[in-house]
Structure 1
Amino acid sequence: MKEIEFNDGVNVIIGHNNAGKSNLIKALALVLDFQGTKRLDVDDFNKYISLEDLKANPPKVSICISINQSVGEDLNSDDLVTVGNWLTKLEEPYEASITYEFFLPEKEKADYLEAINTATDLNIAWKIIMHDFIRLYVYKIWGGSTTTRTVADSESLQKFDFQFLDAIRDVERDMLTGKNTLLRSVLDFFMDYEIKCNTGKSEEDKKVEIKTKRQEFSNNADSLILDLQRRMKEGKEQILSYAKDTGASFNNAIPNFEGSISEVEMFSALKLIVEYESGLKIPATRNGLGYNNLIFISLLLSKMQVNSDGKYLGSNAKVFPILAIEEPEAHLHPAMQYQFLRFLKKNKLEKKVRQIFVSTHSTHITSSVSLDEMICLHNEAEETTVGYPGKVFPSDGKSKKYVQRFLDATKSDMLFAQKVILVEGLAEQLLISILARYLSVSLDGKHIAVINVGGRFFDHFLHLFDSQKPDTLNKKIVCLTDRDPERKKRIAGGSYTKCYPFEYNQDSTTYEYKNNASADKYPVTTHPNIVFFSQSIDKGKTFEYDLILHNPSLELLITDSMSNKEEIKELMFFYKNNKPMSDYAIKLRDSDENKRIIDSINANTSFTEDDKFRAIIASRYLNSVGKGENALELACVLEENLNKKDEESDYQEFIVPDYIKQAIEWICQ
């Protein structure tokens, strides 16, 4: 059994494909949509139930909706009157419940058990249910506690106005002429609206004024009908002469033409058009589907306003107007999506709709709503979990504000992906997916998103995903962080500065040392779904440094935007040809930084000679790159090289750094 809490307002339901978003909307409709279909099929059951469970009891679907008293709601409101027979908690705030059940009647259970116990596997069991028993299933909607088995009265159920827009719909069929009941009812309600909404007039005066206008219209319409009859006088005689000849005037019954027309009947002559500033008018049928969907939604909300107007519909007025929309982005470009969300929120504030449910894959929509309005579904190993991003942060609000500002249309992809790799910077963001392909792994194919958090700000985001805490998004998270060793002199007022791996812990008398503490925060097996990976503590520094450390002779990694290109190429040549340390020292141009590198390398007593040669090249490489442009160029050259792997002989072997390899292997498990 899965429980989901909704907001009293906008609910944006997000998640990766097959996480259960559409099923959630359908479940709401089964309970609340009075006019919708209620019967289910065999494929609507939970297919992961065991054969033993099927042999014990016939499968059923049960959906319970709890209705809670709204903040500030008056106990004399129509809400309480509607749900009064379904109350499960009498004291304030009151609670009521409605439960939909699709089940096999008790009288059929004996035959079911006899038949199902012949099944030797699940496939056979489901075939027995489909062929012999699904037609016998019934549905009921219970009001209040299910133990009482009290059927919810249809009059109260009809007070719910549940309007559902699916992702694939024919809006032209649904709205574009006055012949359609949706448009006709909206037009009828808003006819003479300037009179109906005039607060300076009494209800009696409004009725008299509207009645007068209708009478004027009827008189004018009658004149038009008379004019038609005059113009048809001679022609009518010709038409009716055929009727007489065929015997249609039998028993002195003579056919004739007569008629009148009302305002509502006149609506059928209206067609929705779009008029441009230039004066050009085109039928709405010529609009794009996205534009027409916006028009349709606006009409539907107008209709919901009509349905809930007690003065117009009296006791037939709806009490709970609810709008559910599946994947609005299917027909709307990003700018329209932003506008659409603002439009929905405005209608909620104006109380034209009570609750709004939007299921979406759109990062543009999630970037324009608050964390409190999101409900995240995640399915892992056929187990669906529910996360509430607005509830997971510490009470000081600092991390929540940071994440809310951070989630733009690109970065909110972390909420949709099945798994996430969080990285510090642009280089990793651009390159991790390509490095994975060198390991024969497609991150896209496994629905793994790489998100750049712009520094060591992982903790803000880990509140969202920490599965050891309630309401979080339970998905696997990798954090890739640089080792970044530092040191400071043991003197008063000294401050930490960056150092090289070959300097780290080499002179504890003169220096204090530290590295990125978060690199060791969550080693493998210490947390159920979060792991940090970083470079080696004794040889690692940054992402770019490690690329060369593992590929010290690969000139492919020397990009056009780098400085000191020729120098680094020669250092790589030295490595390939086993040149001595003296050649490296001579080649490095004369500078304080290069002197520091050589002196520190020579003083290091823990590195092998090969370690030292690699470290020199990696240090010079790191000091010669500009992060952004170099990353773009590296992404291009590494992808081009990878594309040659199965086609050409000039493919160059590239080794993925160990910590990246370990991270990708772990998240793909």
Structure 2
Amino acid sequence: MYISKISIEGFRNFPQNEILFNDGVNVIIGHNNSGKTSLIKAISLVINSETPRRLELDDFSKSTTLENLQRLPPSVSISLTFKKSTDEPPNSEDLVTVSNWLTVLSADYEAKLTYKFFLPIEKHDEYIDSLQECDTKDKAWQVIKQDYLRFYTYKIYGGDPSLLQTADSESLQKFDFQFLNAIRDVERDMFTGRNTMLKEILDFFLDYDIKSADEAVKTSEVKLAEIKAAKQAFSVQATALITELQIRMRAGKDQILNYARQTGATFNNATPDFDGGISEVELFSALKLIIGYTGLDIKIPATHNGLGYNNLIYMSLLLAKMQVNSDGKYLGSNAKVFPVLAIEEPEAHLHPSMQYKFLKFLKENRLERKVRQIFVTTHSTQITSAVSLDDIICLHNGGNTITAGYPGKCFAADAAGQESKAYVQRFLDATRSDMLFAQKVIFVEGLAEQILLPTLTKYIGTDIEDHHIAIVPVGGRHFDNFLRIFDSTQPFTIPKKIVCLKDRDPERKLKAARSYTKCYTFESGQDNVLYDYVNHIEGKVVAHATHPNIRFFGQNHKNGKTFEYELMLSNLQNDVLITNSISNRDELSELIALYNTGSLMGDLLNRIHHSPAATNFRNAIEALADPAWTEQEKNQSILAQRYLSSVGKGENALELATFLEENILLPDVPANPGDSIKKAFNVPDYIQQAIHWICQ
């Protein structure tokens, strides 16, 4: 079986939420304060018998109103739903464990456990009278803390919670919930045999070659006999050691006893002496964990090992302990049936490659059924990029409302949906998986936009880092594949605010042709008899104009083409865009100078160097007879097209971003003659609109 669902009411930042889980690994992600730790705590309250189950005032959800507090005492309710696993045999031990808590009586059974923290009914009238005097929520919570919290109690109910059937403690003890929090003292917990956990593990794995032997080779009786013989042999050896110790202590003991006689400790013929024995378990206290290096004659204590490796060692010991706890032959009826492992931020102290290996290790342990269900909370993009979309649960806090998204469930079951899912899974690397953690996301087509956008936002007085916005390149025009995860009009999605910056990229095709090809901006719509025309932004803008959380922005005007093209159209006043990596630097600088002195189109075209591409462009723009295109607009097209043809996107973007970051720090007016001053730079209108919308 597995925990398929948790329903939470009134607990911390979960006023009323339902979250679905996977049978196996559950990677729970989200930005800070999205409820990841609280979710693990909620699971623990139901099935972890080792943790205190009383709550504090801060554990109540504070989203309720004063009127609700005055009407009824606040309470916490947490329900776990258990379902049959797909590979679970009939009449399994799991089914026996939850048989008294069943809510669905069929082969595919369901069971439920519900934790409730509440004020007893006999205190309700007194509580309601007391709260009537409170005129603010703060005063109401203060009264609850001072006068009523001590009367609160908890119960765990099995089955339908309305029936108030208390779950039996013996069945609850069958759950083994192990939790590693983010700030863990692994050194205290594992380095010597004096530690209870390590001592239990060592005792279990003592004589493991005998204990783990196949029953067909050795029966239980033979195993017991061999282990008993080994214990007896150890006892004989231990007795010999104690005897040898007694002999070596003989003279010293006489000296000690002489002091005893002088102090009167031998009164009434009572003589102190030394005797004793030692067992294997007692000898464990003499052991300590060391690290040996293969091929090198080096051994160091684990206390000198790195934190990352020690965390991995501790986790492996914890899994070994869970194996001990679930071994029925070793613990009999006290054995656990359902081991659950929860780890908070496993990436702490772990290198990215170690994070991947650790995750693989967890999956293998789950497949071997050493751990039945695993919950991992993380901020690591390395971990999310290494797991399946189906394993990820994304918590999102939008305006103090927690929602859960399931990226793997956002895609339709048809061929197109599964192809889209495969695309996202394939390209969900560490960079792109940042979209799952950020508060808001801006999708861009490529590397140039990703590099330059953080700098451009500073020129309009906004720092996107303050708004926890991730900029994610989707690789071309594949926006729709990623948007399926965030479309709030569909189930299972993550309702973050999303901006898509998409190029217009006009295209045309002959009426009889099958495919479109790129065309110049001024060619679009010029011959509707011979050609069909399209662009890649207009329809998207219209389709998402009223969408609850997604907007498209682009160069949605007749001379719009690409990001780089628009940068030049917005900055024709000077040579701010002319970086060292640009080919044709001199040509572009002269073209800008000609434009700003009011030169004719022919003068600009004559300055363009000769090439087949340049000749095609010249012929096309000279053939333009549409009066809707002014000479100034044609000249702007010349500069923008030449700039677009001259930039190597990645290298130029890095160089331009560096220059713009330095430029924005310069003064508008020089303090001294000869000092550098800030060059004017304009951010394209569509980018300004996008930033204002996502930040509002």
Task: Please give the TM-score of this superposition, normalised by the length of structure 1.
Answer: 0.97
Question: In the aligned structure 2, how far is the partner of 1:236 from the partner of 1:588?
Answer: 107
Deviations along 1:424-447, whole A, 9 cap, x unmatched? 111111111111121222222211
| Alignment counterpart, residue 569 of structure 1, candidates 589, 609, 614 | 589
Q: What pairs up with 1:48-59 in 2 under 5 angstroms?
A: 48-59=63-74
Match of 1:496 in 2: 516
Q: 2-side partners of 1:357 and 1:548: how far apart?
A: 50
Does residue 332 (structure 1) correspond to residue 350 (structure 2)? The answer is: yes
Distance 1:574 1:137 in 2: 82
Q: Give the conservation status (yes or no) of the 8 Å contact 1:485–1:504.
A: yes
Deviation of residue 601 (structure 1)?
4.2
C-alpha deviation, 1:77, in angstroms:
2.1
Q: Decide whether aligned partners of structure 1 residues 70 and 589 sit closer, same or farther in structure 2, where only a CA change above 3 A counts.
A: closer
Deviation of residue 252 (structure 1)? 2.1
**1:468 and 2:528 are equivalent in the alignment:** no
- Which residue of 1 is the match for residue 600 of structure 2? 580
Secondary structure of 2:443 counterpart: strand
- Residue deviations 1:348-370 (CA, integer Å, cap 9, x gap): 11111110100101011111111
Distance 1:283 1:543, change over 3 A: same
Answer whether contact 1:545 1:622 (CA < 8 A) is retained.
yes
What is the Cα deviation at residue 667 of structure 1?
1.2
Secondary structure in structure 2 of the residue aligned to 1:112: helix
Query: Is 1:243 aligned with 2:265?
Result: no
Answering whether residue 479 of structure 2 is matched by residue 479 of structure 1, we say: no
Q: 1:385 matched to which residue of 2?
A: 403
Report deviation, 1:656: 0.9
Whole-angstrom distance in 2 between the partners of 1:494 and 1:184: 74
Q: How far did 1:645 drift?
A: 5.5
Letter in 2 for 1:463: R
What secondary structure sits across from 1:358 in the alignment?
strand
Aligned to 1:633: 655
| In 1: Cα distance, 2:514 partner to 2:440 partner | 42
CA displacement, residues 435-485 of structure 1 (integer Å, 9 cap, x when unaligned)? 112122222221111111111111111111111111111111111111001
Q: CA 1:658 to 1:87, structure 2 compared with 1: closer, same or farther past 3 Å?
A: same
Shift in Å, 1:497 = 2.5
Q: Deviations over 1:642-663 (max 9, x none)?
A: 2336896611121111111111
How do 1:255-266 residues align onto structure 2 when only pairs under 5 Å count?
A: 255-266=272-283
CA distance in 1, matches of 2:510, 2:81: 64
1:358: which partner in 2?
A: 376
* Counterpart in the other structure of 2:4: none
1:295 is aligned to: 313
Aligned to 1:100: 115
Report Cα offsets for 1:559-604 as digits up to 9, x if no partner.
2121111111111112333333343233223445445545544534
Q: Secondary structure at the match of 1:161?
A: strand
Q: Does 1:513 align with 2:536?
A: no
2:579 is paired with a residue of what secondary structure? coil
Evaluate the alpha carbon distance shift between residue 508 and residue 592 of structure 1 in structure 2; reply closer, same or farther with a 3 A threshold: farther
Q: Does the 8 Å CA contact 1:11/1:373 hold for their aligned counterparts?
A: yes
Aligned to 1:41: 56
The residue type equivalent to 2:456 in the other structure is L
Unaligned runs of 5+ in 1: none
Find out whether 1:650 has 2:650 as its counterpart.
Answer: no
Structure 1 residue 532 corresponds to structure 2 residue 549: no
Q: Which residue is 1:184 aligned to?
A: 199
Asked if residue 621 in structure 1 is aligned to residue 643 in structure 2, the reply is yes
Question: Pairwise mapping of residues 11-22 of structure 1 onto structure 2 (< 5 A)?
Answer: 11-22=26-37
Q: Is the contact made by 2:576 and 2:681 (CA closer than 8 Å) also made in structure 1?
A: no
Tell me if structure 2 keeps the 8 A contact 1:12–1:358.
yes
Distance across 2 between alignment mates of 1:365 and 1:545: 38
Inter-partner Cα distance in structure 2 for 1:646 and 1:76: 80
After TM superposition, the structure 1 stretch with the greater mean CA deviation from structure 2, 120-129 or 160-169, is 120-129
Q: Please report how far the alpha carbon of residue 413 of structure 1 lies from its aligned counterpart in structure 2 after TM superposition.
A: 0.8
Q: 2:468 maps to which residue? A: 447
* Maintained 8 Å contact 1:519/1:533: no
How big is the shift at 1:205? 0.4
- Give the Å deviation of 1:408: 1.0
1:135 deviation in Å?
Answer: 2.1
Identity of matched residues, %:
58
Partner SS for 1:466? coil
Amino acid at match of 1:459: D
The within-5 A match list for 1:6-155 is 6-155=21-170
The answer as to 2:684 corresponding to 1:662 is no
State the shift of 1:520 in Å: 2.5
CA distance in 2, matches of 1:586, 1:10: 66
Residue 220 of structure 2 corresponds to which residue in structure 1? Answer: 203
CA–CA separation in structure 2 for the residues paired with 1:19 and 1:666? 23
Distance in 1 (CA, whole Å) between partners of 2:148 and 2:427 is 52
Is 1:394 the counterpart of 2:416? The answer is no
2:669 touches 2:677 (CA, 8 Å); kept in 1? no
TM superposition shift of 1:553: 2.6
1:374-430 Cα offsets, whole Å, 9 max, x none, are 111111011111111111112222111111111111111111111111111111111
Q: 1:27-53: CA deviations, max 9, x gaps? A: 011111101011111111111211111
Please say which of residues 529-538 and 544-553 is displaced more in the overlay. Answer: 529-538
Name the CA distance, whole Å, in 2 between partners of 1:456 and 1:540. Answer: 16
SS in 1 for 2:572: coil
How many residues align structurally? 668
Deviations, residues 286-320 of structure 1 (Å, cap 9, x unaligned): 11111111000100100000000000000000001
1:112–1:647 distance in 2 versus 1, CA, 3 Å: farther
Q: What corresponds to 2:5 in structure 1? A: none
What SS does structure 1 have at the residue aligned with 2:429?
coil
- Determine helix, strand or coil for the equivalent of 2:484: helix
Q: Distance in 2 between matches of 1:137 and 1:623?
A: 73
* TM-superposed deviation, 1:519: 5.2
* CA distance in 1 between partners of 2:515 and 2:49 (Å): 70
**Superposition map of 1:550-561 within 5 A:** 550-561=570-581
Measure, in 1, the Cα distance between the counterparts of 2:646 and 2:402. Answer: 48
Q: Using the TM superposition, give the Cα deviation of residue 521 of structure 1 relative to its aligned residue in structure 2, in angstroms.
A: 5.2
State whether residues 10 and 356 of structure 1, in contact with CA within 8 Å, keep that contact through their aligned partners in structure 2. Answer: yes
- Once superposed, what is the RMSD of the aligned Cα atoms? 1.8
Q: Quick one: structure 1 residues 494 and 389, their matched pair in 2 at CA, closer, same or farther if it must change by over 3 Å?
A: closer
Q: By how many angstroms is 1:511 displaced?
A: 3.4
* 1:247 partner letter: G
- The answer to whether the 8 A contact 1:422-1:451 is kept is yes
2:432 aligned partner: 411
* Match of residue 20 from structure 2: 5
Q: Which moved more, 1:569-578 or 1:511-520?
A: 511-520
- Structure 2 distance, partners of 1:600, 1:312, is 86
CA distance in 1, matches of 2:591, 2:562: 20
SS for the counterpart of 2:533 is strand
Q: How far did residue 79 of structure 1 move?
A: 1.3
- The aligned amino acid for 2:290 is I
SS in 2 for 1:623: helix
AA paired with 2:436?
Answer: L
What is the CA–CA distance in structure 2 between the aligned matches of 1:206 and 1:451, rounded to whole Å? 60
Q: After superposing the two structures, state which structure 1 stretch, 187-196 or 472-481, moved more.
A: 472-481
Distance, in Å, in 2 between the alignment partners of 1:494 and 1:107 is 79
d(CA) in 2 for partners of 1:463, 1:245: 89
Partner SS, residue 359 of structure 2: helix
User: Matched residues in 1 for 2:603 and 2:38: separation?
Assistant: 68
C-alpha separation between the residues in 1 aligned to 2:542 and 2:151? 54
Per mean C-alpha deviation after superposition, the further-off stretch among 588-597 and 498-507 is 588-597
Q: In 2 relative to 1, CA 321–274 (structure 1 residues): closer, same or farther, beyond 3 Å?
A: same
CA contact (8 A) 1:522 1:530 kept: no
Aligned residue type for 2:262:
D
Q: Secondary structure at the match of 1:328?
A: coil
1:590 and 1:403 map into 2 onto residues whose CA distance is 43
Q: Secondary structure at the match of 1:464?
A: coil
